[in-house]
Structure 1
Amino acid sequence: MSTTLLEPTSRQLDTSPQALLDRSLGQLACDIPGATRVFHEFNLDFCCGGQKTLRDAALGKRLDPAPIAQALHQLQDSAAPQHDWRAEPGAALIAHILARYHARHREQLPELIRLACRVEQVHGARDSCPNGLADHLRDMQQELEGHMLKEEQVLFPMLQQGLGHRAAPPIHVLRLEHDQHGEALEKLLVLTDHITPPANACNTWRALYRGLREFHDDLMQHIHLENNVLFVNALNA
C-alpha cells in the first residue's frame, strides 16, 4: 500500500522548504498547484515514482533537492487552487480519466506514429533523427491499449460497484504496467534528446515533438491520478 496513505492533509503539514524535502512526489503533486511543472523541469517521476520523497528522488538524479523544494515553496504562495480529485467520488475521477486520458491517448498515438514515420523517412540519414521512434510508439500504443482495456473492463467496473476492497490484485498488476509505461517514456526522451528538435528541424519534425511533449505530460498526469489518487482511495476504502 502506498506510503501516501499515512501522510496528513496539506493543512496539517509544515510547508517550509525543508519539510517539503521529506514529502512524497505524489503527495506534492496533489497538494501544490503547478508542482508537476517543476517536476517536469527537473525530470522527476511523480507518477510511477510518486512514493519517493522529494529528497530521495532528487538525489537519485544527482540533483540538489534544495532549489526544487524552494521552487515548490514559492508556488504555494502564488498558485491558484487546483481541483483536488482526492475529495471526489471514485466514479467522477474514473469518468474524468476515461474522457481526458483514455480517449485522448487513442487520438494522440496514431498521429504521432504517422509523423514519426514521415520524419524518419525524410531525415533518417541525419544524426539527430529519432530513428526507431515510430516503432517505439507502436509498441507503446499496443501496451497502453491493453492496459486501458484492463482498466475499462475489469478495475473500473469493480470500483464503480463499490468493490474496492477486492481490487488489490488488479491494482498491483496495473501499477507494474504503469512502471513499464514510465520506462517507455524514459526511452522516448532518450530517442528525442528530451523532446528537443534540432535548430533546423522542419515543420513536421516540430509538430511531432509538440505532440510528443503533450503525450508525455498527459501520460504522466494520467498515471499520477491513478497511482496516487484513484488506487490509493480504492485500497483505503
Structure 2
Amino acid sequence: MSLLNHSLGTLAREIPGATRVFHHYRLDYCCGGNALLSEALAERGLDTAEVIARLEALPARNGNDTDWSGAGNADLIDHILARYHEVHRQQLTELIGLARRVEAVHADNPLCPEGLTVHLEEMRQELESHMQKEEQILFPMLRRGLFAPAQGPISVMRLEHDDHGQALARLLELTNHLALPADACASWQALYTGIEELQLDLMQHIHLENNLLFSPSRHQEVQHG
C-alpha cells in the first residue's frame, strides 16, 4: 500500500526518522496523527513526490533505534518520564530565562519576540499540570493494565495535547517562525535553538502517547509491564 494511504501517526510510529521529515515540512503527526499523508500534503500544498522520496530515502531501523510499539506499558512510561517529562521541565526553565533576557535587551528591535516570556511561562504552567495528572493518575492506571477505566483520563489528556499543539503554533507566530536577525546575540540564538528542540521533543512526546500508549489496539496486543 502506498505511503499516501497511511496516517501520519502510523508512519511516525513505523518509519524511523519520519518524525523529522514531518517536522521539516510542518506536518502535525502528533495531534493530527489520524490524518492520511495524502490529506496532509494536499492541505499544505506540498510536493507529494518530494516528501515521499524523503521518507523512502530514510535508512532502515538500526541498533540505535528503539521500536516502542512492542514495549510494555511500564517501559514506555519510564521512557516518557525520563526522556520527555523531566526534559521539558529543564527546557522551559532555561527558555524562560533566555526569553526574559532577549526581550529586556532587544526591546527596540522590530524582530524582538514581544510576549514570548509570558507565553513560555503559561506553557510551563499548563504542561506541568498536564504531566502531574499523567504521573499521579493516568500512568499508574496504565501500569496496572487498567485501560478501560483509564478512558476518561485519556480523553482529557488528548484534549490537552491539542492545546499543547496550539501553544507550539503560537510559539512560531511570536518568533516569526524562528527567524533571527543577522546580528542576533548568543542568547537570542540559543533561545531559538532551544525552542526548536522543545517543539520537536514535545511533538514526539505527544506522538508516543496519542499513537502508541493510548492506542486501543496496543492494549489488545501488548501485555502491561
Specify the TM-score bucket, using the shorter chain as the normaliser. Answer: over 0.9
Give unmatched runs, 5+ long, in structure 1: 1-13
Q: Residues of 2 paired with 1:170 and 1:142: CA distance?
A: 19
Give how far 1:236 is off. 3.8
Given the alignment, which residue of 89, 102, 114 partners 2:85? 102
Q: CA RMSD in A?
A: 1.4
Partner of 1:46: 29
* The 10-residue stretch of structure 1 (33-42 or 190-199) with the greater mean CA deviation from structure 2: 190-199
Give how far 1:137 is off. 0.3
* Structure 1 stretches of 4+ moved >4 Å: none
- 1:128-175 deviation digits (Å, cap 9, x = unpaired): 111110000011001000100110011001011110121111111100
* Matched residue SS, 1:72: helix
Partner of 1:80: 61
Matched, 1:192 2:175: yes
Q: Residues of 1 paired with 2:130 and 2:182: CA distance?
A: 36
Q: Residues of 2 paired with 1:26 and 1:105: CA distance?
A: 22
Matched, 1:114 2:97: yes
Partner of 1:6: none
The TM-score normalised by the length of structure 2 is 0.93
Aligned partner of 1:169: which letter?
A: G
Partner of 1:134: 117
Partner of 1:37: 20
* Matched residue SS, 1:164: coil
- 1:160-212 deviation digits (Å, cap 9, x = unpaired): 11101211111111000000000000110111122232221001100111111
Give how far 1:233 is off. 4.9
Matched, 1:158 2:134: no
Partner of 1:175: 158
Partner of 2:223: none
| 2:5/2:38 contact within 8 Å kept | yes
Q: Residues of 2 paired with 1:79 and 1:136: CA distance?
A: 39
Matched, 1:63 2:7: no
| 1:168/1:235 contact within 8 Å kept | no
What is the total number of aligned residue pairs between the two structures?
Answer: 218
The TM-score normalised by the length of structure 1 is 0.88
Give how far 1:37 is off. 1.2
Give unmatched runs, 5+ long, in structure 2: 221-225
Q: Residues of 1 paired with 2:12 and 2:160: CA distance?
A: 21
Aligned partner of 1:140: which letter?
A: M
| 2:212/2:218 contact within 8 Å kept | no
| 1:164/1:234 contact within 8 Å kept | no
